[in-house]
Amino acid sequence: MSDDMLRAPAEVKYADELDYLESVDDNPKPFSWRLSPKMIRLFVLGSERADGLDREIPQKWFGDRSFVERSIVTLASDRGLLLIGDPGTGKSWLAELLAAAICRNSTLVVQGTAGTTEDHIKYSWNVSMVIAKGQSRQSMIPSPIMTAMERGVIGRFEELTRSTSDVQDALISILSEKYVSIPELEDDNIVFAQPGFSIIATANSRDRGVNDLSSALKRRFNFVRIPVVTNKNSEAEIVRFRTEELLRRHRIELDLPPTLLDILLQSFADLRSASASATSDDERLESALSTAEQIGVLEDAILHSHFFGDRVLRAQTLAGSLVGSLARRSPEDLAILNKYWHGVVEPRGKKDGGPWQEFLEGGRDAIATLS
């Protein structure tokens, strides 16, 4: 079934694993959860030999164990969970995995934007049915959050701070009172949340000041801050994991040379260091330089090599993808990348030669083309 989708949700993609874990799970479960907290943690972080399972469960989210455990405990309480962090830290992926493991449905999602309205988190109406038969529960269109309430499952709210204060305030009654009133109806005019309902929201820490959360709404969430991955080994695992998924999805047979992965990781580490020491925004790349952006750079290079190259990933192609992905402002970003190439990559290329020399040449050509 997952082969028929461009991107299958976690509960479909890992259905076999979830079925297996459910069949061997004899631990206590809150509410109507499909898996126990211990098995959910194992599903997200992968199994170890000490777990005594008949099959290996691979790790799907790479981060501190305590973040996952606190997230699960929060969802077992009556509070919402807010995952907050920089772009590309895996907040949405963790939210999807948790929802998939708890209720086998991660698709009840509201995307927060400036255009999100209260209807998106409560309900709206089927206009043609209202004209024909009047307002009723049959002519009402429940939001993903209301659907989650009725089913007693997890609802998700992506980019909470991108939505306006009116929309955020509408969540307060849902999280505190656990029901939604429908004043347009005389009968059957309250939807009560069933046991097991909760909300996982995500927020971008770089959006601070866009639409800050009220203190009332903050009190109804437990905050779990997801830091940027700085450990090189952990970041390499994440990039490798996502790249292998890409290759499988596109049915591409292409090796990822370890030396090129090292070059990619080192380049992002260098650029992050330069950004941290910069004294003004003009001296910083607009890119967040996240792990997700590294994956995007590598994906671009792999697809370019597959479709337009000789189906071998080369340093020149990787350099061109990196420059093309990170040079968003002209001339500011191009000037920063040009400085990095001359001040850091060029000495490495002369000293180490090989892939670094090829990376140097590929980056120079890409910068010259965009300048």
Asked if residue 175 belongs to a domain, the reply is: yes
- pLDDT value of position 319: 95
Residues 253 and 348 in one domain: yes
Does residue 3 fall inside a structural domain?
no
pLDDT tens digits along 65-105: 999 999 999 999 988 999 998 887 889 999 999 999 999 99
Determine the structural domain holding residue 283 and report its residue range: 232-370
User: Does 211 score more than 70 pLDDT?
Assistant: no
Domain shared by 195 and 318, yes or no: no
Q: Are 34 and 22 in contact (CB under 8 A)?
A: yes
Predicted confidence at residue 188, as pLDDT, reads 87
Could you tell me if 220 and 366 lie in one domain? no
Question: What sign has the CA pseudo-torsion 36, 37, 42, 48?
Answer: negative
CB atoms within 10 A of CB 359: 29
Boundary of a domain, candidates 199, 225, 251: 225
Query: 211 with 241, same domain?
Result: no
From 190, 225, 260, give the residue that closes a domain: 225
Are 238 and 212 in a shared domain? no
Per-residue pLDDT at 253 exceeds 70:
yes
Region 4-29 average pLDDT: 92
Quick check: 241 pLDDT over 60?
A: yes
Judge whether residue 3 has pLDDT over 70: no
CATH code, domain with 27: 3.40.50.300
Statement to judge: residues 355 and 280 lie in one domain = yes
Are residue 109 and residue 209 in the same domain, yes or no? yes
Q: How does residue 252 score in pLDDT terms, banded at 50, 70 and 90? A: confident
For residue 317, pLDDT over 50 is answered with yes
Please check whether residues 142 and 243 belong to one and the same domain.
no
What is the pLDDT at residue 37?
Answer: 96
**Residue 70: CB partners within 8 Å, gap ≥ 6?**
222, 224
The mean-pLDDT minimum among 157-161, 187-191, 250-254 falls in 250-254
Residue 206 has pLDDT above 80, yes or no: no
What pLDDT band is residue 209 in, cutting at 50, 70 and 90? very low
Residue 4 lies in a domain: no
> Considering the domain boundaries, does residue 151 fall inside one?
yes
- Give a yes or no: residue 198 inside a domain: yes
pLDDT tier for residue 44 given thresholds of 50, 70 and 90: very high
Does residue 25 sit in the same domain as residue 68? yes
Is residue 237 domain-shared with residue 262, that is, in the same domain? yes
Q: Is the pLDDT of residue 205 over 80?
A: no
Of 163, 192, 225, which residue sits at a domain end? 225
When divided into structural domains, the chain yields a total of 2
Same domain, residue pair 192 and 243: no
Q: pLDDT band for position 161 (50/70/90)?
A: confident
Percent above pLDDT 70 for the chain: 98
Interhelix angle 332-340/315-326, nearest 10 degrees: 150
Residue 1: inside a domain? no
| Residue 271 near residue 228, CB atoms below 8 Å | no
- Statement: residue 137 has pLDDT above 50: yes
* 319-331 b/e (C-beta count within 10 Å ≥ 16 → b): bbbbbbbbbeeee
Answer yes or no: do 75 and 219 share one domain: yes
